[in-house]
Amino acid sequence: MTRQRAQDDKAIEALTALLGQRLSRSKSDLALHGRSESYFTPAPPDAVAYPETTEEVAALVAICAEHGLPVVAWGTGTSLEGHALAVAGGVVVDFSRMARVLEVRPEDMDVTVQPGLTREALNQELRATGLFFPVDPGANAALGGMAATRASGTTAVRYGTMRDNVLALEVVLADGRVIRTGTRARKSSAGFDLTALMVGSEGTLGLITELTLRLHGQPEAISAGVCAFPDMAAAVAAVTDTIQMGLPMARIEFVDAASAAAVNAYAGMSLPLLPHLLLEFHGSEAAVAEQAQQFGEIAADHGSLGFEWSVKPEDRKALWSMRHNAYYAILASRRGARALVTDICVPISRLAEAVEATQADIAAASIPGPILGHVGDGNFHAILLIDDANPAELAEAKALSDRMVRRALALGGSSTGEHGVGMGKLGFMAGEHGAGWQVMGDIKRALDPKNILNPGKVVPPLG
């Protein structure tokens, strides 16, 4: 038995003494926590832990630090760049038993929650308060994972991303210390912003065990609508004009013709096979009606094929259900396929150029790749459908994704607008950040010298 294997066994023994049956080594549990939503090879951990308190998390991490056993945080497993895969083995920490709303403070418009709580469950709890939590990445993700990946989504154009909506955190560091970052105050100039450091660190610097989140007032009225355009350039031009006019959009989403076709087949809809914009406005009844009318005029100026909008909740629910299920509709459009799902973000002025060049690349490829995204932010996704049994298709999808990223960086954009780095975008960090990427590695080395927290992700390889 190797020295490290002996150390791992001692760590597992100590963790079993700490957690009892809440440390699982069943094959089904390991397999469930060893897969991702995307194309990455499964990487089952050595064990799965189900802590119930911050104290248990701290004790768990201290044991793993003592024995050099990797620790990977797990929310709901919906990430797309292999963030939560235990590629070096170790323990996956599943936060599903830490999923409570701890305190709602309506007068301050904030809430404190545990990391395993999902965004939909939080908003269910908030219904009677007149408040809601707006960040909507599509999947019903856990809030701890959303903070760790700096998630955003369909509402970011108005309400911002997790970076803008996390006020404070409780975090367990790599040596088992527990720290609190930030306060409930709406601003501070007191030293380093450790909350911002942890938000987006993907579990490489600490495990989030508590979050204090900013809440927003539920709008009096909501209007939503959809319209088709002859091409992507016209759709983006309409978005640009809308932003420049200062219309306060709550959501503005794009689906291309291929996505529209997939949604039609999946949900029995009859969208024209053209690019579409999907929008939502929040405000008073008069305001949302006026905003919808103004957007309709802008869209008509850019050749839209009508603009259908509604304030009925059932119509809005159907529209956004269609958008949120677009990924599954696209998967279903190629039977048995898996997806390499990639995203980039560019300045709004370069969005049409980036999308049209990506569409041309995909049209010249042998695999399908519908495109959709958050045009109000310059962020879009390509869902590249591949046959798992065909390595050539995976290689082609990776090459297409690489071209998208290189183009985004050349246009002044980012390799990922919201999916995060994980393993999938690791190779582009030096190109995007230059010497700053090495600084990220220095921070990681200072806070986690043994490299036990989610190794192999985000930062340069630690020698």
**What average pLDDT score do residues 379-390 get?**
94
Give the SS3 label for residue 414. strand
Quote the CA–CA distance of 14 and 48 in Å, as a whole number: 14
Does the fold of domain 334-424 match that of domain 221-327? yes
Which residue carries 């975008």 as its tokens?
425
Query: Measured between alpha carbons, how far is 103 from 23 in angstroms, rounded to an integer?
Result: 29
Q: Where are the domains of the chain?
A: 3-96, 101-217, 221-327, 334-424, 426-463
Q: What is the mean pLDDT of the segment spanning 125-146? A: 95
CATH of domain 221-327: 3.30.70.3450
Chain segment 37-80, per-residue pLDDT in tens: 888 999 999 999 999 999 999 999 999 999 999 999 999 999 99
Average pLDDT over residues 83-98: 97
Q: Could you give the 3-state DSSP secondary structure of residue 105?
A: strand
Residues 6 or more apart in contact with residue 213 via CB below 8 angstroms:
110, 111, 112, 113, 122, 133, 143, 165, 166, 167
Residues with Cβ < 8 Å from 441, sequence gap 6 or more? 459, 460, 462
With 60 as the cut, is the pLDDT of residue 131 above it? Answer: yes
Place of tokens 């499964």: 42
- Residue 2: which pLDDT band, with cuts at 50, 70 and 90? low
Mean pLDDT of all residues in 123-151: 95
Residues 230-276: pLDDT tens digits?
998 899 899 889 988 889 999 999 999 999 999 999 988 889 999 99
Query: How many Å apart are CA 148 and CA 196, to the nearest integer?
Result: 10
Question: Residue 1: which pLDDT band, with cuts at 50, 70 and 90?
Answer: very low
Tokens of 453: 């927290």
The first and second tokens of residue 407, run together, are: 């183009």
Interhelix angle 391-410/351-363, nearest 10 degrees: 160
CA distances to 69, 91, 150, 237, 423 from 461, in Å = 17, 20, 22, 42, 11
Side chain identity at 200, as an amino acid letter? Answer: G
pLDDT, tens digit, 9 for 90 and up, residues 345-370: 999 889 989 999 999 999 999 999 99
What is the predicted pLDDT for the residue at 244? 87
Residue 3: is its pLDDT beyond 70?
A: no
Q: Which residues pair with 72 in a beta bridge?
A: 92
Give the amino acid at 85: L
| Whether pLDDT at 208 is above 90 | yes
How is domain 3-96 classified at the CATH fold level?
3.30.43
DSSP 323-382: HHTHHHHHHHTSTT-EEEEEEEE--GGGHHHHHHHHHHHHHTSSS---EEEEGGGTEEEE
Residue 47 pairs in a beta bridge with 91
Q: What is the side-by-side strand order in the sheet with 47-49?
A: 23-24, 47-49, 91-94, 71-74
CB-CB contact of 176 with 62 (8 Å): yes
Token pair of 28 as six digits:
């089904």
**Fold (topology level) of 101-217:** 3.30.465
Decide: helix, strand or coil at residue 52. coil
Predicted structure pTM score: 0.94
463-to-138, 161, 198, 389, 451 alpha-carbon distances in Å = 37, 33, 23, 35, 10
- What strands lie across the sheet with 110-113, from one edge to the other? 101-105, 110-113, 207-214, 166-172, 178-182
Q: What is the mean pLDDT of the chain?
A: 94
Q: What's the CATH number of domain 334-424, 3.30.70.2740, 3.20.20.80, 3.40.720.10, 3.40.50.1000?
A: 3.30.70.2740
pLDDT at 6: 77
